[in-house]
Protein backbone atom coordinates (compact mmCIF):
# COMPACT_ATOMS: atom_id res chain seq x y z
CA UNK A 1 0.00 0.00 0.00
CA UNK A 2 1.06 3.64 -0.43
CA UNK A 3 1.56 4.03 3.31
CA UNK A 4 4.47 1.62 3.13
CA UNK A 5 6.46 4.09 1.02
CA UNK A 6 7.98 7.00 2.90
CA UNK A 7 10.78 9.42 1.96
CA UNK A 8 13.10 7.09 3.87
CA UNK A 9 12.08 4.03 1.85
CA UNK A 10 15.09 2.52 0.09
CA UNK A 11 15.33 3.31 -3.63
CA UNK A 12 15.50 0.53 -6.21
CA UNK A 13 17.56 0.39 -9.39
CA UNK A 14 14.38 1.02 -11.41
CA UNK A 15 13.63 4.16 -9.37
CA UNK A 16 17.10 5.55 -10.07
CA UNK A 17 16.80 4.77 -13.79
CA UNK A 18 13.43 6.52 -14.03
CA UNK A 19 14.71 9.65 -12.32
CA UNK A 20 17.79 9.73 -14.58
CA UNK A 21 15.42 9.56 -17.56
CA UNK A 22 13.36 12.39 -16.11
CA UNK A 23 16.52 14.49 -15.73
CA UNK A 24 17.50 13.73 -19.34
CA UNK A 25 14.11 15.03 -20.49
CA UNK A 26 14.45 18.17 -18.35
CA UNK A 27 17.83 18.90 -19.93
CA UNK A 28 16.46 18.33 -23.43
CA UNK A 29 13.57 20.78 -22.98
CA UNK A 30 15.74 23.44 -21.32
CA UNK A 31 14.78 23.14 -17.65
CA UNK A 32 18.30 22.13 -16.65
CA UNK A 33 21.64 23.33 -17.96
CA UNK A 34 24.53 20.94 -18.62
CA UNK A 35 26.08 21.30 -15.18
CA UNK A 36 22.77 20.84 -13.36
CA UNK A 37 21.95 17.76 -15.41
CA UNK A 38 25.38 16.25 -14.78
CA UNK A 39 25.29 16.90 -11.03
CA UNK A 40 21.72 15.71 -10.51
CA UNK A 41 22.31 12.57 -12.55
CA UNK A 42 25.32 11.73 -10.40
CA UNK A 43 23.26 12.25 -7.25
CA UNK A 44 20.42 10.13 -8.65
CA UNK A 45 22.75 7.22 -9.37
CA UNK A 46 23.99 7.26 -5.77
CA UNK A 47 20.65 8.03 -4.08
CA UNK A 48 19.73 5.64 -1.31
CA UNK A 49 16.11 6.66 -0.60
CA UNK A 50 12.97 7.71 -2.46
CA UNK A 51 13.14 11.06 -0.69
CA UNK A 52 16.58 11.80 -2.15
CA UNK A 53 15.31 10.97 -5.64
CA UNK A 54 12.15 13.03 -5.22
CA UNK A 55 14.20 16.08 -4.22
CA UNK A 56 16.10 15.92 -7.52
CA UNK A 57 12.97 16.34 -9.66
CA UNK A 58 10.67 18.24 -7.32
CA UNK A 59 11.17 21.60 -9.12
CA UNK A 60 10.78 20.16 -12.65
CA UNK A 61 7.70 20.47 -14.83
CA UNK A 62 6.06 17.18 -15.81
CA UNK A 63 6.55 16.09 -19.43
CA UNK A 64 3.62 16.77 -21.74
CA UNK A 65 3.32 13.13 -22.81
CA UNK A 66 2.52 11.48 -19.51
CA UNK A 67 -0.87 9.96 -20.23
CA UNK A 68 0.32 6.35 -20.01
CA UNK A 69 1.37 6.65 -16.40
CA UNK A 70 -0.77 6.52 -13.31
CA UNK A 71 -1.75 9.84 -11.73
CA UNK A 72 -2.05 10.18 -7.94
CA UNK A 73 -5.62 9.94 -6.67
CA UNK A 74 -7.10 13.25 -5.43
CA UNK A 75 -7.02 14.04 -1.75
CA UNK A 76 -3.82 12.21 -0.93
CA UNK A 77 -1.81 13.76 1.85
CA UNK A 78 1.31 15.65 0.66
CA UNK A 79 3.66 13.45 2.66
CA UNK A 80 2.37 10.31 0.99
CA UNK A 81 2.42 11.95 -2.44
CA UNK A 82 6.08 12.75 -1.99
CA UNK A 83 6.78 9.27 -0.72
CA UNK A 84 5.28 7.70 -3.84
CA UNK A 85 7.04 10.14 -6.16
CA UNK A 86 9.60 7.81 -7.65
CA UNK A 87 7.72 4.52 -7.50
CA UNK A 88 7.77 2.76 -10.88
CA UNK A 89 4.56 3.13 -12.90
CA UNK A 90 3.85 -0.46 -13.77
CA UNK A 91 0.55 -2.28 -13.52
CA UNK A 92 1.48 -5.13 -11.21
CA UNK A 93 4.22 -3.36 -9.27
CA UNK A 94 4.27 -0.87 -6.44
CA UNK A 95 1.37 -2.62 -4.71
CA UNK A 96 -1.03 0.19 -5.47
CA UNK A 97 1.41 3.03 -4.84
CA UNK A 98 0.72 6.18 -6.89
CA UNK A 99 3.37 7.53 -9.24
CA UNK A 100 4.10 11.25 -9.06
CA UNK A 101 7.54 11.88 -10.46
CA UNK A 102 8.15 8.87 -12.67
CA UNK A 103 6.13 10.22 -15.60
CA UNK A 104 9.19 11.52 -17.38
CA UNK A 105 10.38 9.42 -20.24
CA UNK A 106 7.27 7.35 -20.76
CA UNK A 107 8.40 3.89 -19.63
CA UNK A 108 5.72 1.48 -20.69
CA UNK A 109 3.72 0.03 -17.81
CA UNK A 110 4.14 -3.68 -17.36
CA UNK A 111 4.57 -6.31 -14.69
CA UNK A 112 7.62 -5.78 -12.55
CA UNK A 113 10.17 -8.53 -12.35
CA UNK A 114 10.95 -9.94 -8.94
CA UNK A 115 14.55 -8.93 -8.41
CA UNK A 116 16.82 -11.15 -6.38
CA UNK A 117 19.01 -9.37 -3.86
CA UNK A 118 22.80 -9.78 -3.86
CA UNK A 119 23.58 -12.46 -1.33
CA UNK A 120 26.53 -13.43 0.79
CA UNK A 121 28.61 -16.42 -0.41
CA UNK A 122 26.31 -19.45 -0.46
CA UNK A 123 27.38 -23.06 0.01
CA UNK A 124 25.74 -25.43 -2.47
CA UNK A 125 25.70 -28.89 -0.86
CA UNK A 126 25.91 -32.14 -2.77
CA UNK A 127 26.08 -35.60 -1.30
CA UNK A 128 28.73 -36.74 -3.75
CA UNK A 129 31.05 -33.72 -3.87
CA UNK A 130 32.43 -31.02 -1.65
CA UNK A 131 30.25 -27.89 -1.22
CA UNK A 132 30.72 -25.17 -3.84
CA UNK A 133 30.98 -21.61 -2.57
CA UNK A 134 29.57 -18.95 -4.92
CA UNK A 135 31.12 -15.54 -4.23
CA UNK A 136 29.25 -12.49 -5.60
CA UNK A 137 31.20 -10.32 -8.01
CA UNK A 138 31.95 -6.79 -6.77
CA UNK A 139 32.14 -4.58 -9.89
CA UNK A 140 34.40 -1.88 -8.40
CA UNK A 141 37.06 -4.35 -7.27
CA UNK A 142 39.79 -5.89 -9.47
CA UNK A 143 38.20 -8.31 -11.91
CA UNK A 144 34.75 -6.80 -11.44
CA UNK A 145 34.64 -4.90 -14.74
CA UNK A 146 35.81 -7.99 -16.62
CA UNK A 147 33.04 -10.06 -15.02
CA UNK A 148 30.41 -7.52 -16.09
CA UNK A 149 31.90 -7.40 -19.59
CA UNK A 150 31.71 -11.19 -19.87
CA UNK A 151 28.08 -11.18 -18.71
CA UNK A 152 27.16 -8.59 -21.34
CA UNK A 153 28.90 -10.57 -24.07
CA UNK A 154 27.24 -13.82 -23.01
CA UNK A 155 23.78 -12.20 -22.95
CA UNK A 156 23.91 -10.17 -26.17
CA UNK A 157 26.74 -11.62 -28.24
CA UNK A 158 28.63 -8.30 -28.22
CA UNK A 159 29.76 -5.62 -25.75
CA UNK A 160 28.10 -2.54 -27.25
CA UNK A 161 26.18 -0.46 -24.69
CA UNK A 162 24.66 2.98 -24.25
CA UNK A 163 25.80 3.43 -20.67
CA UNK A 164 27.35 1.35 -17.91
CA UNK A 165 27.37 2.20 -14.22
CA UNK A 166 29.40 0.18 -11.73
CA UNK A 167 28.47 0.24 -8.05
CA UNK A 168 30.03 -1.63 -5.11
CA UNK A 169 27.73 -4.67 -5.32
CA UNK A 170 26.01 -4.39 -8.70
CA UNK A 171 26.14 -2.79 -12.13
CA UNK A 172 23.58 -1.14 -14.42
CA UNK A 173 23.83 -1.76 -18.14
CA UNK A 174 21.81 0.25 -20.66
CA UNK A 175 21.40 -0.82 -24.29
CA UNK A 176 19.28 0.39 -27.19
CA UNK A 177 16.26 -1.75 -28.04
CA UNK A 178 17.04 -3.73 -31.23
CA UNK A 179 13.86 -2.62 -33.01
CA UNK A 180 13.66 0.86 -31.45
CA UNK A 181 17.13 2.44 -31.12
CA UNK A 182 15.70 5.62 -29.63
CA UNK A 183 14.62 3.68 -26.52
CA UNK A 184 17.08 2.39 -23.95
CA UNK A 185 16.54 -0.80 -21.95
CA UNK A 186 18.04 -1.23 -18.49
CA UNK A 187 19.65 -4.36 -17.07
CA UNK A 188 21.03 -5.03 -13.60
CA UNK A 189 24.06 -7.21 -12.92
CA UNK A 190 24.10 -8.58 -9.37
CA UNK A 191 25.11 -11.81 -7.72
CA UNK A 192 26.79 -12.93 -10.95
CA UNK A 193 23.59 -12.69 -13.03
CA UNK A 194 22.33 -10.16 -15.59
CA UNK A 195 18.61 -9.38 -15.33
CA UNK A 196 16.35 -7.15 -17.43
CA UNK A 197 14.43 -4.38 -15.65
CA UNK A 198 10.79 -3.55 -16.61
CA UNK A 199 11.59 -0.01 -17.68
CA UNK A 200 12.92 1.80 -20.74
CA UNK A 201 14.00 5.42 -21.11
CA UNK A 202 14.45 7.76 -24.04
CA UNK A 203 17.90 8.10 -25.58
CA UNK A 204 19.58 11.31 -24.41
CA UNK A 205 20.58 13.64 -27.30
CA UNK A 206 24.31 13.63 -28.03
CA UNK A 207 25.02 10.31 -26.33
CA UNK A 208 26.25 7.46 -28.51
CA UNK A 209 26.56 3.71 -28.16
CA UNK A 210 30.09 2.44 -27.58
CA UNK A 211 32.00 -0.81 -27.22
CA UNK A 212 33.07 -1.79 -23.72
CA UNK A 213 35.72 -3.93 -25.37
CA UNK A 214 37.66 -0.72 -26.06
CA UNK A 215 38.15 -0.10 -22.32
CA UNK A 216 41.57 -0.85 -20.81
CA UNK A 217 40.27 -2.75 -17.79
CA UNK A 218 43.57 -2.70 -15.92
CA UNK A 219 44.09 1.03 -16.36
CA UNK A 220 40.54 1.91 -15.35
CA UNK A 221 40.64 -0.38 -12.30
CA UNK A 222 43.86 1.32 -11.20
CA UNK A 223 42.24 4.76 -11.55
CA UNK A 224 39.27 3.62 -9.47
CA UNK A 225 41.67 2.68 -6.67
CA UNK A 226 43.49 6.03 -7.00
CA UNK A 227 40.36 8.16 -7.33
CA UNK A 228 40.00 9.35 -3.69
CA UNK A 229 43.53 10.74 -3.75
CA UNK A 230 43.14 12.14 -7.27
CA UNK A 231 40.11 14.23 -6.32
CA UNK A 232 41.58 15.41 -3.03
CA UNK A 233 39.37 13.28 -0.77
CA UNK A 234 41.84 10.66 0.51
CA UNK A 235 39.39 9.46 3.15
CA UNK A 236 36.55 9.12 0.66
CA UNK A 237 35.09 6.08 -1.04
CA UNK A 238 34.11 5.47 -4.66
CA UNK A 239 30.31 5.44 -4.83
CA UNK A 240 29.92 4.58 -8.51
CA UNK A 241 31.66 4.68 -11.89
CA UNK A 242 29.89 5.71 -15.10
CA UNK A 243 30.95 4.77 -18.66
CA UNK A 244 29.39 6.86 -21.45
CA UNK A 245 30.06 8.44 -24.84
CA UNK A 246 28.84 12.05 -25.01
CA UNK A 247 31.16 12.93 -27.88
CA UNK A 248 34.20 11.54 -26.09
CA UNK A 249 34.19 7.98 -24.74
CA UNK A 250 34.97 8.47 -21.06
CA UNK A 251 34.72 7.05 -17.56
CA UNK A 252 33.59 9.21 -14.64
CA UNK A 253 34.59 8.05 -11.14
CA UNK A 254 32.59 9.56 -8.27
CA UNK A 255 34.06 9.83 -4.77
CA UNK A 256 32.01 10.60 -1.66
CA UNK A 257 33.16 11.70 1.79
CA UNK A 258 31.97 13.80 4.69
CA UNK A 259 33.35 16.81 2.83
CA UNK A 260 31.14 16.27 -0.22
CA UNK A 261 31.30 14.55 -3.59
CA UNK A 262 33.90 15.03 -6.31
CA UNK A 263 34.73 13.14 -9.46
CA UNK A 264 37.52 12.47 -11.93
CA UNK A 265 36.87 11.93 -15.63
CA UNK A 266 39.22 9.65 -17.54
CA UNK A 267 39.59 8.18 -21.02
CA UNK A 268 39.11 4.49 -21.72
CA UNK A 269 42.90 4.06 -21.59
CA UNK A 270 43.10 5.61 -18.11
CA UNK A 271 44.31 9.06 -19.17
CA UNK A 272 42.94 11.79 -16.90
CA UNK A 273 40.67 14.37 -18.58
CA UNK A 274 39.96 16.43 -15.47
CA UNK A 275 39.06 16.54 -11.79
CA UNK A 276 35.84 18.24 -10.70
β-strand 249-257 against 122-124: which pairing, if any? unpaired
In this predicted model, what pLDDT tens digit does every residue of 29-49 receive, in sequence order?
789 887 788 788 888 888 889
In this predicted model, what pLDDT tens digit does every residue of 197-235 receive, in sequence order?
888 888 988 899 999 999 999 999 999 999 999 999 999
Predicted pLDDT of residue 101? 38
Alpha-carbon gap, residue 162 to 180, rounded angstroms: 13
CA distances from 10 to 5, 52, 63, 112, 244 (A): 9, 10, 25, 17, 26
Query: Taking 50 as the threshold, does the pLDDT of residue 167 lie above it?
Result: yes
Nearest alpha carbon to residue 88 among 230, 201, 216, 199: 199
In this predicted model, what pLDDT tens digit does every residue of 53-77 receive, in sequence order?
999 999 999 876 544 333 344 444 4
Q: What is the dihedral of CA 89, 92, 97, 103, to 10 degrees?
A: 10
In this predicted model, what pLDDT tens digit does every residue of 74-122 receive, in sequence order?
444 444 344 444 443 333 333 333 333 333 333 333 333 334 444 444 4
Predicted pLDDT of residue 135? 62
Predicted pLDDT of residue 64? 66
Q: Is 249 helix (H, G, I), strand (E, B) or coil?
A: strand
In this predicted model, what pLDDT tens digit does every residue of 117-147 receive, in sequence order?
444 444 444 444 454 444 678 999 999 999 9
Average predicted confidence (pLDDT) for the chain: 78
Predicted pLDDT of residue 82? 41
Q: CB 103: neighbour CB atoms within 10 A?
A: 21
Average pLDDT over residues 180-190: 93
Domain-by-domain residue ranges, the chain?
2-96, 125-276
Predicted pLDDT of residue 65? 53
Write phi, then psi, for 225 (nearest 5 degrees): -65, -35
Amino acid sequence: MVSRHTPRTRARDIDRALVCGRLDTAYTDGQLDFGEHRDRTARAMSAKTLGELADLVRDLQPPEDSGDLAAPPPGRRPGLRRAAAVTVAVAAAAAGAAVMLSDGDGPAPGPAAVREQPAAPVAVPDDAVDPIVVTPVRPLEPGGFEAVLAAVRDRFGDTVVYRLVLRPERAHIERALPDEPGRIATYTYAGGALRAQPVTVQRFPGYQDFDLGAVDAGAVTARIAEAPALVGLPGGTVSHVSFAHDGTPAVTIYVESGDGTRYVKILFDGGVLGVF
